[in-house]
Each structure stands twice: as structure tokens, then as C-alpha cells.
Amino acid sequence: MLEPVILKNILFSILAVVIAYIVHRIIMRSINKFISTLGKEVKAPKTLSLILAFLIYGFAIAGILAIWDVNLAPYLAGLGISGIVIGLALQEPLTNFMSGILVLVTRKVFEGEVVDIDGLTGIVDIVKMNHVHLKTFDGKMILIPNRKVWSGTVTKFWPGRYRRIDVDVTVDYSSDLDKVVSILKKVLEEEPLVVKDNSVENNVVFKSFDSNGVVYTVRFWTEKETYFDTLNAVAHRIKSEIDKNGIKIPFSIVEVKLVK
């Protein structure tokens, strides 16, 4: 049978963990509620939750050590050569840990951002203390050590509110090119999903004289959230207007001649 003092310490230890869990949940819920009252949302909820958990459970562990009257000083002093070996073994994790703190503090990358980290492209799922979890566009989850994120080259895609789309349109050489440009500009003006403000510029520019016809690039901007909807809407409008005005979109024709 356990002694009363040991039983009491076990109960207090469990209580410390439970309190840490409840405090973590309450703080996260309060933050989300406060931010929602401002009409906004927490940009990196997973990362924020991880940082809070690290701090709160750290205090809980310190409290548990105090409950059991554990003094780490003698153990640390007695490590000796073993401490050097352990230090070398922990060198990589500690480097990643410190790099993770720098990544979080400087916001070099943050949750939900589309980035390229030394050739790996995807959406940042969460920034943890040792790794950045990067979700690729084909469904993979890549864990990149924080030291590589901190010291590597990070390219941020669409850091602003809008995203640009380029669509190439090829028309037949017999087409009235002034009319073609006018139609394409009209499409951009009439499509409500295309952004129209002074911070961006939508235009139609000549690209090349192709083997099939004359190629124009239609460049326009849209909200990041409506990227695919805008792309489909503009493409449908272009096809509809070109057909309505009798302009031909050329396509390759392959003639096969059989010689007897």
C-alpha cells in the first residue's frame, strides 16, 4: 500500500497536469473569442497553441518537480563525461529548437502561408519547436528542420491580398487585332471577380507570333480565395465573347497522306 505522502504527491501531480490542460484550453478559447469580436481570426492557431502549451506545461512540470522535492543540481553536476556525450547527441535538436524560436519571433514563415523553402513548395501547416510542417499541393507532409528554415532561402508567394493570373489567348492571323484586344479588355472590365483598384493593374499584352496564330497574354488580379473561380469565369467569358464576335481560335491540324 502506498504511503499517504506518496499518494498525496501523485494526486497533486495529476492535478497539476489537469490544471495545465484546462488553463491551456481556456486561454486559447479566450484568445479566439476576443479576436472574433474584432472581426478577425487568429492567423496561426496551431502554432500559437503549441507555444502556449510549451509554456504552461513547462510551469506544470516545474511544479511537479517541486511537489516531489526533486533537486536537479546534483544530477547535473554528476553527469561529467556522460553530460558531454548527451550534449553532443542533443546538439541537433537544440539547434533546431533555438532556430524554431527565431523563426516564430521573426515570423520568417507562419501558419497558412504559401512558401518555397530551398526548393520545397507548399503551405505551412504548423511551426513546431523542431520542425516546420509543410503541406505540399499533392497532399504530402514534409517536416523541415528549423535550422534549415532559419538559415535557408524562403520565397513567399502572394504575400499580399491579391494574386495575379496570366491566361494566353491565341487568335487566327485573319483576326482584327484591335478588336481582339478590345474584347479581352472588355471581359476584364465586366467580370466582377476581377479586382479593380489602384493597387493592381489588369492588362492585355502581345506575347508572340505563334505557328498557329497571334498570342496575347491576359493579365488580371483576383482575391487569393477566389483564384480558381475567377480563372474559370474569365476563361468562359473570353470563349463566349470571341465566339460571339466571329473570331477564330486556331488549332493544330495534322494531315496524314498515305502513299501507295
Q: Which CATH class is domain 4-104?
A: mainly alpha
What residue ranges do the domains of the chain occupy?
4-104, 107-156, 162-245
CA angle, residues 82, 85, 87, in degrees to nearest 5: 105
Q: What is the pLDDT along the chain (260 residues), one digit of tens a residue?
A: 557 778 888 888 899 899 989 998 898 888 888 778 877 666 667 777 877 887 888 888 888 888 888 776 666 566 555 555 555 455 677 788 888 888 877 888 988 889 999 889 999 999 888 899 999 989 999 999 999 999 999 999 877 889 999 999 999 999 999 999 999 999 999 999 999 988 899 999 999 999 889 999 999 999 988 999 999 999 999 999 999 999 998 877 666 777 76
Q: What distances in angstroms separate CA 184 from CA 11, 55, 155, 241, one per listed residue?
A: 73, 56, 32, 8
d(CA 118, CA 129) in angstroms, rounded, equals 19
How far is CA 66 from its chain centroid? 41
Among 155, 142, 168, 147, CA closest to 220: 168
- 144-181 tens-digit pLDDT: 999 999 999 999 987 788 999 999 999 999 999 999 99
Q: Which fold has domain 162-245?
A: Alpha-Beta Plaits (3.30.70)
d(CA 53, CA 24) in angstroms, rounded, equals 6
Among 20, 27, 56, CA closest to 42: 27
Q: Which fold has domain 107-156?
A: SH3 type barrels. (2.30.30)
Terminal-residue alpha carbon distance, the chain? 102
With a pLDDT cut of 70, the percent of the chain lying above it is: 88
- The residues with which 222 forms a beta bridge, in sequence order, are 163
Look up the pTM and report it.
0.58
Single-letter amino acid code for the residue at 209: F
Report DSSP state, residue 138.
T
Among 215, 213, 212, 209, CA closest to 253: 212
